[in-house]
Structure 1
Amino acid sequence: MSVNFEGQVAIVTGAGNGLGKSHALALAKRGAKVVVNDLGGARDGVGASASAAQQVLDEIISQGGDAIAHGANVAIYAEVEDMVNQAMARWGRVDILINNAGILRDKSFAKMPLDDFKLVMDVHVMGTVNACKAVWGIMQEQGYGRIMVTTSSSGLYGNFGQANYGAAKMAVIGLMNTLGIEGEKYNIRVNALAPAAATRMTEDLLPAEILEKMTPEAVTAGALTLCHEAAPSRMILCAGAGGYSSAKMFETDGIYLSPEQQTPEEVVANWQALSNEENQRALESGFKQSEKFLKKAQQYFSS
């Protein structure tokens, strides 16, 4: 199956460098009209410059593509809304949103100022929320949309010194899961990418010989599969150094304790049974957990 984006309009946030730049160039190469968004700050979020986005824009135009650049700070909704309005004024639709913009302010939790925690949350979480909100009504009306959020292994599994980043990257999974449910009847599919790549965000974290294998292009191959017409929904795709896998949250089948047994002592005593992974499964929504527990209770009281 050929993956192409002819006639589609894509917005890529944080597209001035690294993964965002790779995503934007690949979308343009495959026919998409692209909004290249980048505030142009340093990786800790300080400063602003139009040069990075302009360079990507120039590269797309030189290769015969169609694009505009916009320096919206994704943490400020009015600026994101202006970016989307410019895309609509030029092309009349928005088909794809790739939420890639992000910053790092790594420190152990004990040493981390709360301002650093809040800023990372604002950029990663509210930046993603703002962009999704700005395009949501458009995608509903046109009956089509593909949205990708960017998560991280730091959010899925934790990483020392990244309490702020990890919390933010897990938060966007909750957003993805709910938007995927709400968008289904409008043919809006929402997915998450967990990338591992050599970018300015990781350049001082890994040895050079490892970084050279972790190309942004390898991750972009995964990103584009989450944004095309036949994309799945509510999937977490992990990609890095040519490796691809999916991550999913599973819940054990669990146990039922009768009313007289519902004490912490009984929960501890049955820890092995409630943790048994034999019949674990992924739940389609939060209500499915309540449904499971209620069925167990009904079985007890009807027996």
Structure 2
Amino acid sequence: MRFDEQVAVITGAGAGLGRAYAIALAERGAHVALIDAGIADPNAVLTQDSGLIKTAQTLTELGAQTLSFKLDVRDSVGLNDAVKTILARWGHIDIVINNASIHRPCAFEDLSYAQWQQQLDIDVNGSFMLTKLVWPEMKRQGYGRILMSCGASALYGDRHESCFSTSKMALIGLVNSLAIEGMDSNICVNSITPHALTQMTEHHLSPLVKPLFSTSSVNAVMLFLTSTLAPTGQHLLVAAGSVSHGKFTESQHMRITDAECNPNVIHAHWHELKQARPYQVHPSGEAQVTAWAKRSAGEHHIVIE
């Protein structure tokens, strides 16, 4: 699978999975724009030891064309300037990988508003702003691939992860809606929930299993979701060679009459409701509302199309 002459923009590209993504795309012919906040001090100068510089040097050694931006994704002006520079250099943007994030577990009672806002600003607002900037260009060219980076904590919850899981789950909703809006313009929007051995995760993995969590399977999924063959509106989970498809489903519904509309009825049927099958998948929120309407209309002898 090749990406010759395609232009990819990757945030959080100085280390970890962002760096792995950049190398994988560059090896397959893509031009890669790297965005990373770099050093914590916004006034600091990039050194030869910085992750952003190292990633750029690696891509250059691979023969890839690259641009680097020491930039915090919360900086809307800086993102705008970066997109302008990329378009001036290469004329188009085909792939955006919103990978930048932070991970600072914290008990909910100790979580400050500043911590909460920082997480949302980086994960959600940063992804929104970059995607918003490239969206008109992708619509104009009739092609685009956008990938949001999620986390298992968002899908299932974890202790001391309320901040991280909230911001990452917000990206799932963004994917679901943007995929529908981008469909007519061949813009595919998906999410990846990866886990690999990086600086962010090395303290959460046992030494026994660390060798299992390479970036190989994660890169394979990333490349598929950013390729010309990509689906849209999909959520893939990948780690340690395991790939699975995640989606929200609705179990078989139960009907309650107007006379039964009280919480005791729900409680009485909770076990069967919780275990109900089969599962149904709805392609959009509107489809779910339509399903609710049809179920009720049939019982009230109302005919709807």
TM-score (norm 1): 0.94
* CA apart distance, 1:276: 4.4
Q: Sort the Cα spacing of 1:246 and 1:48 in 2 relative to 1 into closer, same or farther, 3 A.
A: farther
**Partner amino acid for 2:7?**
V
* CA apart distance, 1:213: 1.9
In structure 2, C-alpha distance between the alignment counterparts of 1:139 and 1:53, rounded to whole Å: 26
- Deviations 1:237-283, CA, capped at 9 Å, x for gaps: 11111111111111113122222222222222332443343221121
What SS is found at the alignment partner of 1:208? Answer: coil
- Once the two structures are superposed, the pairs formed by residues 54-133 of structure 1 within 5 Å of their partners are 54-133=53-132
In structure 1, C-alpha distance between the alignment counterparts of 2:86 and 2:237, rounded to whole Å: 29
Match of 1:16 in 2: 14
- CA RMSD, Structure 1 to Structure 2 (Å): 1.7
In structure 2, C-alpha distance between the alignment counterparts of 1:24 and 1:269, rounded to whole Å: 53
Match of 1:255 in 2: 254
Q: Sort the Cα spacing of 1:14 and 1:248 in 2 relative to 1 into closer, same or farther, 3 A.
A: same
Kept in 1: contact 2:38–2:71 (CA 8 A): no
* CA apart distance, 1:208: 2.6
1:36 aligns with 2:34: yes
What SS is found at the alignment partner of 1:228? Answer: coil
In structure 2, C-alpha distance between the alignment counterparts of 1:41 and 1:172, rounded to whole Å: 26
**Partner amino acid for 2:182?**
G
Question: Any stretches of 5+ residues in structure 2 without a counterpart?
Answer: none
What SS is found at the alignment partner of 2:106? Answer: coil
Match of 1:150 in 2: 149
Q: Sort the Cα spacing of 1:49 and 1:19 in 2 relative to 1 into closer, same or farther, 3 A.
A: farther
Question: Any stretches of 5+ residues in structure 1 without a counterpart?
Answer: none
Identical amino acids, percent of aligned pairs = 33
**Partner amino acid for 2:189?**
V
Match of 2:238 in 1: 239
TM-score (norm 2): 0.93
What SS is found at the alignment partner of 2:208? Answer: helix
**Partner amino acid for 2:86?**
A
Q: Sort the Cα spacing of 1:281 and 1:240 in 2 relative to 1 into closer, same or farther, 3 A.
A: same
- Deviations 1:142-163, CA, capped at 9 Å, x for gaps: 0000000000101001111111
In structure 2, C-alpha distance between the alignment counterparts of 1:89 and 1:208, rounded to whole Å: 46
Kept in 2: contact 1:254–1:275 (CA 8 A): no
Match of 1:264 in 2: 263
- Once the two structures are superposed, the pairs formed by residues 86-235 of structure 1 within 5 Å of their partners are 86-235=85-234
**Partner amino acid for 2:2?**
N
What SS is found at the alignment partner of 2:280? Answer: coil
**Partner amino acid for 2:22?**
A
What SS is found at the alignment partner of 2:236? Answer: strand
Moved more, 209-218 or 272-281: 272-281
In structure 2, C-alpha distance between the alignment counterparts of 1:16 and 1:277, rounded to whole Å: 46
